[in-house]
Structure 1
Amino acid sequence: MVTTAPTRLSDRLSRPSAAARGVRDTRGYRVFTAVNVLVLVLVMAVTLYPFVNILAQSFSSEGFITAGQVNLVPRGFNVETYQTVMADRMFWRNYQNTLVYTVVATAIAMVLTTTFAYAISKRHLRGRSLFIGIAVFTMFFNGGLIPNYVLINTLGFKNTIWAIVLPNAISVFNLLVMKAFFENLPAELEEAAAIDGLDTYRTLLRIVLPLSKAVIATMILFYAVSFWNSWFPAFLYMDRAELYPVTVYLRNLIAGATTATSVGGGGADAMTQVAANIQSVTMVLTVLPIVCLYPFIQKYFVSGVMLGAVKG
């Protein structure tokens, strides 16, 4: 009996409890699971349908697109428009501009947001409530379109990268999420760092930031997607086409400011094909880098936002 008792106890501990088995096996739980899966599948289908449809149109022939026969599968497979758009030097110039604007703007935004959030997360900071109030105030009120344009023009930022990078360098929502995250970090870590002789800046760089990888990766994703998709600041503050980001290039195509003939090509048939799906092709080429980047950062997304939003 002495030798078999531990075995029997381990067997009982390894088996799930009757209550747990009952919860999984109840009819209500099975119905809830089925409904939950069905709803999620429907949401996924509704979300993916526009992207799949655009992708299908980008590889379809003009006749099928005009007849409205392209749904989820390409009809009359055709890559002529891809070849024509990729041969356009202005498209690649604007694409390069978008890459530069996004990288520089995200880097500046992360530095400013991180340092600002870390400062206002300290309850002993004098004027902390005032700084938080000023930040929150800007979420609801701004100077307006004309004053902003006059300000950018007066500062000499027009037709420069700074007109896109600086006005939206800090997102108040991202700032508040990072502030909440820093407030939840154990104070004992910074106290130990202070005892070891680290000042505020070295504590931030050596202690706080290495523990904040999840929220930092999430904020990088937020800022990068925002700057990549932004088109209105460039449309407002840029006068030269060679300075446009690719989103303005796309906007001009959609609005009809740029016609199919502006991207070259030979023959009426080629121009008809280009005009039919040039918008879909440009959308696919524009969104591709973000789609490729997202899987590498997605694992930090939920944990980063939750850690910054839930009070410990």
Structure 2
Amino acid sequence: MKAHDFRGRDPLYQTIVYTLLVLILLIILIPFLYVVFASFATKQEILTRGFFLIPKVWTTNAYAYLMKNQNFMTSFQNSVIIAIFGTAISMTVTTLMAYGLSKTWLKGRRVLNFMVLFTMLFSGGIIPLYLLVRGLNLLDSYWSLFLTGAIAPFNLIIIRSSFQNFPSEIEESARIDGCSELRLLLKIVLPLSMPVLATFTLFYTVEYWNSYFSSILYLTSAEKMPLQVFLRQMLIQPSENMGAVVEGLEFSPAVRMAAVVFTAIPLLVVYPFLQKYFNKGMLLGSVKG
């Protein structure tokens, strides 16, 4: 009998494994549940009671307060715009480039692939990139976020590998029937590559939704700042010092917890629909380099 078969039938082994899994789950889940339930508690209960999971008094005042706060809603809207348009631009550019680089008959393919790989190992640095963005007059524009993050080399390489694994017989049959390269990509390759595309759509969405450093580096107008910048200002600065940012409105602990929940909700809503593609997409794209 193999060792793993013996362990699989050993009650003590199963008990230890399940106990460890439950402990890890609790370590991850309890802080999240505390933030969620604390957002429905009153300010007095959070300040006086300490740690708890079930509030004594339930209230939605924190969420109502955020919904009425113009600065918070503007930053939330900015994050939605950045995530949607940024993901669309990145997936379009990355997919087109990956499809071209997957073709062995493309002239200069090796050089272009080396240039993509080189950017994974070496970077020009923050200052040269900032000077380039300023030279192109893109400062304080969302295009500074879209163009500087348009292509992630790792994502490009995995999608390219997925296209390389695409059956050549299907492509040849389509070309014989008079299908152009663009139509072949849109009508045949992309629909059959949905696991990979869905996976990296999620990657780009998370990256743009959580954009913080690039936003404070390239954006200067407060009304264009995304939710992550607003959330950081809310969490690390005392309420009495937030006047210039939030027009003197006080952010209680419950309101701050509600803001964190608000920030996580979009990704929690999107992820279940893409989860079934996640593992399959990563495996399909990593078979061939």
Task: Normalising by structure 2, report the TM-score.
Answer: 0.89
- Judged with a 3 Å threshold, the aligned counterparts in structure 2 of structure 1 residues 82 and 263 are, in CA distance, closer, same or farther, namely farther
Which of 192, 196, 206 is the aligned partner of 2:177? 196
Cross-structure match for 1:30? 9
**Alpha-carbon distance between aligned partners in 2 of 1:42 and 1:86, rounded to the nearest angstrom:** 36
- Judged with a 3 Å threshold, the aligned counterparts in structure 2 of structure 1 residues 75 and 309 are, in CA distance, closer, same or farther, namely farther
* Letter paired with 2:9: R
Q: Percent identity?
A: 37
Cα deviation code 1:77-125 (max 9, x no counterpart): 3433222222111111111111111111000100111111111112232
Which of 92, 112, 131 is the aligned partner of 2:73? 92
Structure 1 alignment gaps of length 5 or more: 1-21, 266-270
Cα deviation, residue 142, structure 1? 1.7
Larger radius of gyration: 1
Corresponding position: 1:206 with 2:183: no
**Alpha-carbon distance between aligned partners in 1 of 2:96 and 2:187, rounded to the nearest angstrom:** 14
Cα deviation, residue 58, structure 1? 1.6
**Alpha-carbon distance between aligned partners in 1 of 2:22 and 2:109, rounded to the nearest angstrom:** 45
Cα deviation, residue 257, structure 1? 7.8
Cross-structure match for 2:23? 42
Contact 1:246 1:286 in 2 (8 A): yes
Contact 2:41 2:56 in 1 (8 A): yes
- Judged with a 3 Å threshold, the aligned counterparts in structure 2 of structure 1 residues 43 and 180 are, in CA distance, closer, same or farther, namely farther
- Judged with a 3 Å threshold, the aligned counterparts in structure 2 of structure 1 residues 194 and 234 are, in CA distance, closer, same or farther, namely same
Which of 84, 94, 106 is the aligned partner of 1:103? 84
Corresponding position: 1:184 with 2:161: no
**Alpha-carbon distance between aligned partners in 2 of 1:126 and 1:37, rounded to the nearest angstrom:** 55
* Letter paired with 2:213: F
Cα deviation, residue 195, structure 1? 0.9
Structure 2 alignment gaps of length 5 or more: none
Contact 2:66 2:73 in 1 (8 A): no
Corresponding position: 1:276 with 2:253: yes
* Letter paired with 1:309: S
Cα deviation code 1:148-199 (max 9, x no counterpart): 2211111111111101111011111111111111111111111111111112
- 1:124-273 maps to which residues of 2 (within 5 A)? 124-256=105-237, 259=241, 262=246, 271=250
* Letter paired with 1:208: V
Corresponding position: 1:291 with 2:272: no
Contact 2:93 2:151 in 1 (8 A): yes
Corresponding position: 1:310 with 2:278: no
- How many residues align? The count is 283
**Alpha-carbon distance between aligned partners in 1 of 2:57 and 2:51, rounded to the nearest angstrom:** 9
**Alpha-carbon distance between aligned partners in 2 of 1:128 and 1:38, rounded to the nearest angstrom:** 51
Cα deviation code 1:236-271 (max 9, x no counterpart): 111111111111110111231874653666xxxxx4
Cα deviation, residue 57, structure 1? 2.2
- Judged with a 3 Å threshold, the aligned counterparts in structure 2 of structure 1 residues 310 and 129 are, in CA distance, closer, same or farther, namely same
- Judged with a 3 Å threshold, the aligned counterparts in structure 2 of structure 1 residues 142 and 68 are, in CA distance, closer, same or farther, namely farther
Higher deviation after alignment, 224-233 or 116-125: 116-125
Contact 1:88 1:264 in 2 (8 A): no
Cα deviation code 1:283-311 (max 9, x no counterpart): 11111111111111111111111111134
- Judged with a 3 Å threshold, the aligned counterparts in structure 2 of structure 1 residues 53 and 206 are, in CA distance, closer, same or farther, namely same
| Local SS of the residue matching 1:125 | coil
Contact 1:109 1:170 in 2 (8 A): yes
- Judged with a 3 Å threshold, the aligned counterparts in structure 2 of structure 1 residues 30 and 136 are, in CA distance, closer, same or farther, namely same
